[in-house]
Amino acid sequence: MADLARQSQALGARPALVLIDMINAFTDEHGPLGSPSDAVVDACGQLQRAFRRKGLPVCFTSVVYDQSNQAKVFRARLPALNILKSGSAAVDVDKRLRPVDGEPVFEKHYASAFFGTGLLAWLKSQNADSLVIVGLTTSGCVRASVVDGLQHGYVVWVPEEAVGDRNAAAHAANLHDMHAKYAEVVSLSDTLAAVGDAL
Q: Which of 141, 142, 175, 185 is catalytic?
A: 141
Q: What is the gyration radius of the CA atoms in the chain, in angstroms?
A: 16
| Contact status, residue 14 vs residue 129, Cβ threshold 8 Å | yes
Cβ neighbours of residue 189 closer than 8 Å, sequence gap 6 or more: none
pLDDT of residue 60 exceeding 70: yes
Percentage of the chain modeled with pLDDT above 70? 99
CATH number for 15-197 (one of 3.30.43.10, 2.120.10.30, 3.40.50.850, 3.40.50.1370): it is 3.40.50.850
d(CA 180, CA 141): 18
| Phi, psi torsion values for 21, nearest 5 degrees | 50, 40
pLDDT digits (tens, 9 = 90+) for 91-149: 999 999 999 999 999 999 999 999 999 999 999 999 999 999 999 999 999 999 999 99
Query: What pLDDT, on the 0 to 100 scale, is given for residue 5?
Result: 86
59 given a catalytic annotation: no
pLDDT digits (tens, 9 = 90+) for 156-194: 999 999 999 999 999 999 999 999 999 999 999 999 999
Angle at 146 between CA 140 and CA 149, to 5 degrees: 140
d(CA 33, CA 30): 8
Domain boundaries, the chain: 15-197
CA nearest neighbour of 11 among 187, 189, 145, 184: 184
- Work out the pLDDT band at 89, boundaries 50, 70, 90: very high
Query: What pLDDT, on the 0 to 100 scale, is given for residue 199?
Result: 66
Average pLDDT over residues 191-198: 91
